[in-house]
Structure formats: C-alpha cells, structure tokens
Amino acid sequence: MNYILRRLLRAMLLLVGVSALCFLFTEMAPGSFFDEMRLNPQISPETIAALRSSYGLDQPLAVRYARWVNAALRADLGYSIAYNAPVAPLLWSRAKNTLLLTTCALAITWLISVPLGVWAASRRGGLVDRAVTLASSFVISVPELVIAVGLLALVVRWRILPVGGMMSADSDALSMLAKLKDVARHLALPAFILILCETSIIVRHVRASVLEVLGATYVQAARGLGMSQSRLLFRHVLPVAANPAISLLGFSLAGLLSGSLIVEVVCGWPGLGPLILEATLSRDLYLVIGGIMFSALFMIGGNFVADMMLIVVDPRIRKEGVDAR
C-alpha cells in the first residue's frame, strides 16, 4: 500500500515540477501573443495593456504561477487568448482524440510486439528472428516524420483510406455502427504509423529481455530438470522478462505521445498535436501549458499503471513494498 502511496506522491511532485518548468520556459521564450497586435497601428498600446492585464499577464511570474496552480486544482487551466475560450474544455475535446489514437496504438503495439519478440527470441537466429531484427532496424533508422509523410503519400495516391480529420463530412447522417466504422477508417493511417514506429522499438526490447532470461542459469537449471520448451518459456521465462518489458511500457507511452503529436499534424488528426503546435506558434500561453500538462498527465498515468503491474508481476518489488510498511 505504502508503495502505491509513494508512487502517487512522486507523480504529484512530477506534475508540480513540469508545470513550474513550463511557466519558466514560456516566460523565457521570446515574444508574446500580443506582438502582432503591437504592429497593428489601429490598436492602441493602451488596449493591448488592458488586454494583457485582463489575462493577468502583467503580473509577475510567481503570482501568475500561484494563480494558475490554484485554478488548476479546480480543473481550470486558464483561458486561451486565440480561441477566446477556457483552456480545459478545449484541451479535453482534443485530448479525447489523442487518447483514442494512442491507446489504440499502444494496445496493438504490445499485442504485436510481445508475441513477436518472444517468438524471435525463442528461435534465435531463425528466419523470424532475422526478419524481425532487420525490419525493425530499418524502421528505427528512418525518422518518424519521413515514415508518416511517405505513408500518407501512398495512401493518398492509392486512395486506400480517407485522410484528414477523424470522420467524413457526412458522418452525422450515418448510423451508429457506420459512424464507428468511419472513425476507424480515419484512425487507421495515423495509428498504423505509430504502431509501426513503436513496434520496431518495443519488439527489440522484448526480444532482448527474453533472450537474456533464456540464457540465465536458472533457465538452464530448469532445462536440466526436464521442463518442456513451452512450459519453460511461459512459466519460467516470461514472468521474469515481463519486468523490464513493463517498465518499458511507461517509456513506450512517452514515445507514442511525442510520436502522436507529429503524426497527428501530418495526418490531420484532430488531437492535441495540431492544437499544441498552433498554440506554440501563436504563443497562446495557457493553451501551451495546458497541453503540456495533459501530455505529462498521460505519461505519469502510464508509468503509474506500469508500476502497479510490476507489483503484481515481480515478488521482489512486492517484498520491498511490504518492508516499507
């Protein structure tokens, strides 16, 4: 129990740290939302100053941060200047889409990576192993952006899938089932790109950790006692290999998130990615901070889930938890 509490506390501290850094960096970044307005002779400096103070931007950094934290605790992440709307609902409407994309990609990535990695490792040097190693190193060596743009071009040229947005223009008229299908077809391309990039990394890690455990003395010893190959793999190797793999889950979420920001922009998926990009370019302060906080929340949440899974899987960590009582 204590272990979980400690993890939660750590997660909170992390969020505080991230938000503080965000404020600091946005403060240090040159320019502000009102720079363009200043160039416009029709808007008087007084108006701009009034606008600034209405958004609270004339206050010192510490005061702004304190206000923001205070509001954030009540789920209010400030006000977007560009959209002229509260940040939280704005972000949430986009975050839902990002969440849909990343969780789909995450689930499928792991569904592919684990069996493939285990298969490759158990037949080391075999055809599957060599194919997996070769293909994954190819995908890893090509930048995500290039893969995304390349696949997009292919899809557009061959008209395999709809591109841009998350549903067709006429989707309102469709039945529930057809609607779902429509979303899935829009989701397919960005998800595929993410899965491809992420799987190529995860599968290598899974393979490596299974290989390491397969070579361990206790696996050799179990072999010497006549365990069958499949029993050995599933009962003796996988539970041990799961530990590094689960720790990786948290990291893979980070990879997916940063990847999804790029992929969303390229494929026109209406997620956080395009929103944060726009907000950054227009220096829409609170929207940027809110977007980053959302991403941080996802990641910390993912790591937390991974930690919880580790407790279930690894008795050594469970023991540590008991000790701390």
Partner 1 sequence: MARDHLIRVSDLSVTYCADEGMPIRAVDGISLEISPQEIVGILGESGCGKSTLAGALLRLLPPGAKSEGGILFRGLELMNLPEAELRALRGREIALIPQDPALSLNPVITAGVLIGEVLRAHLPLSAAERRQRVKELLCEVGFDRPEEIYSAYPHQLSGGQRQRIAIAQAMACRPGLLVADEPTGKLDATLQSEIIELLSKIRQQHGTAILIISHDPAILAGFSDRIAVMYAGRIVEVGSSAEIFGRPLHPYTQALMRIASSMITSAGVISRFPAIAGESPDPGCIAEGCRFEPRCSERMDVCSQRYPQTFLPEPSRLVNCFKYGE
Partner 2 sequence: MGSNLATNLPANLSNSPGGAFRGDLSGVNLLRVIGLSKQYVRGGLWKKRVQVAAVTSAHFEIARGQTLALVGVSGSGKSTVARCVARIESPDAGQILVQGTDIARLSSRELLPFRSGIQMVFQDAVMSMNPCFSALEAIEEPLRIQRKAIGNRQERRDRVGRLMIEVGLSPDWMDRPISNFSGGQRQRLALARALALRPRLLVLDEALTGLDVSTQAQIANLLLDLQAAHQLTYLLISHDLALVARMANVIGVMAGGRIVETGPAEQIVSNPMHAATKQLLASAKTTAAKFAAITGAPS
Note whether 168 and 239 are within 8 A (CB): no
Q: Report d(CA 166, CA 110) in Å as an integer.
A: 24
Burial class (CB in 10 A: 0-12, 13-18, 19+), 309: middle
Please, what is the minimum distance in Å from the beta carbon of residue 253 to partner 1?
24
Question: Encoding tokens for residue 231?
Answer: 């029993």
- Between residues 51 and 227, which has the closer beta carbon with respect to partner 1? 227
Contact pick of 225, 230, 323, 325 for partner 1 (by CB under 8 A): 225
26 within 8 A of 296, measured Cβ to Cβ: no
In this structure, which amino acid lies at residue 82? A
Nearer CB in complex with partner 2: 268/321: 321
Among 21, 160, 221, 324, binds partner 1 (CB under 8 A): 221
Binding site for partner 2 (CB under 8 A): 2, 6, 9-10, 320, 323-325
Q: Name which position in 57, 216, 297, 311 contacts partner 1 (CB under 8 A).
A: 216
H-type alpha helices, the chain = 2-28, 35-39, 45-54, 61-72, 87-122, 127-141, 144-158, 176-214, 217-224, 229-231, 238-267, 272-282, 285-313, 315-323
Among partner 1, partner 2, none, residue 25 binds (CB under 5-8 Å by kind):
none
> CA angle at residue 295 from 290 to 297, to 5 degrees?
90
| Shortest Å, Cβ 14 to partner 2 | 14
- Nearest approach, Cβ of residue 315 and partner 1 (Å): 5
Closest distance of CB 41 from partner 2, Å: 57
The alpha carbon dihedral of 32, 38, 43, 49 has a sign of positive
Site string for partner 1, 295-324 (x = CB under 8 A): ------------------xxxx--x-----
Interaction residues for partner 1, span 81-100 (CB under 8 A): none
Among 13, 220, 312, 324, which residue sits at the site for partner 1 (rule: CB under 8 A)? 220
Six-digit token string for 25: 């960096």
323 binds, among partner 1, partner 2, none (CB under 5 to 8 A by kind): partner 2
Q: Does 230 bind partner 1 (CB under 8 A)?
A: no
Measured in degrees and rounded to the nearest 5, phi and psi for residue 85 equal -150, 160
d(CA 241, CA 232): 12
CB 216 within 8 A of CB 233: no
Which CB sits closer to partner 2, 74 or 325? 325
Taking the C-alpha atoms of residue 309 and residue 258, their distance in angstroms, rounded to an integer, is 23
Binding region for partner 1 (CB under 8 A) out of 98-106, 158-166, 219-227, 256-264: 219-227
Shortest Å, Cβ 324 to partner 2? 4
Is the CB of 14 or the CB of 188 nearer to partner 2?
14
Site string for partner 1, 231-270 (x = CB under 8 A): x---xx--xx--x---------------------------
Question: Residue 30: phi, psi to the nearest 5?
Answer: -75, 150
Residues near partner 1 (CB under 8 A) are 216-228, 231, 235-236, 239-240, 243, 313-316, 319
